[in-house]
Amino acid sequence: EAQVTQNPRYLITVTGKKLTVTCSQNMNHEYMSWYRQDPGLGLRQIYYSMNVEVTDKGDVPEGYKVSRKEKRNFPLILESPSPNQTSLYFCASSQRGRGNTIYFGEGSWLTVV
Amino acid sequence: AQTVTQSQPEMSVQEAETVTLSCTYDTSESDYYLFWYKQPPSRQMILVIRQEAYKQQNATENRFSVNFQKAAKSFSLKISDSQLGDAAMYFCAYRSEITDKLIFGTGTRLQVFP
């Protein structure tokens, strides 16, 4: 079954404690991306990757890091989380090409206190 | 830079009636894709319908159809015969031909009343 898997799904953490949200897809997709969803703001792109070792900033990259060492994995790293990073995070993947279906993970609820 | 605007934060419709959700976008690209996604309370992102910019024919998927006006940069979603299960947040999205980036609007929350 085609899927994008994110972990953890729910996390409460404290300010400054580094955390990683993992994302894995089983469809051999080149394109992967991270979004955050906040009330009234829709989904905003954090980082994206066109292929292994190729990553670029989205609209709201501050405070986040990513890496793409393998095609299937695209972890999101919060080196020093702050309360303004409390949000719902989505990982997404697709084949390159604008019409291709974009698959989303189930979302990760992150609360930073 | 491309932008997507959904000017209706909330809409409501009675069961079995028809409702139209509005979306406008801005771009200088000539070819692109437009999407509507549904997000129910589970927060799952579900693709409702897609439209390629160079196709003049409006896309339809069962009870869901779009009114795509390329010159006006408008992409509205019509839901016919509304059902209780249609209640959700709906996001309009644009995918860039250059970066593959998917850009979302701020969403419209649809309520369906029996």
Whether B26 has its CB under 8 Å from any CB of chain A: the answer is no
**Span B61-113, pLDDT tens digits:** 999 999 999 999 999 999 999 999 999 999 999 998 777 888 999 999 999 99
CA distance B50 to B93: 9
Does A42 sit within 8 Å of B101, measured CB to CB?
A: no
DSSP 8-state symbol, B84: G
Of A48, A35, A47, A24, the residue nearest A87 (C-alpha): A35
Mark out chain A residues that contact chain B at CB-CB < 8 A. 31, 33, 35, 40-45, 48, 50, 58, 88, 90, 92, 94, 96-99, 101-102, 104, 106-107
Taking Cα atoms as reference points, which of A77, A82, A109 lies closest to residue A14? A82
Token couple for A72: 């299937």
- Chain segment B10-47, per-residue pLDDT in tens: 999 999 999 999 999 999 988 899 999 999 999 999 99
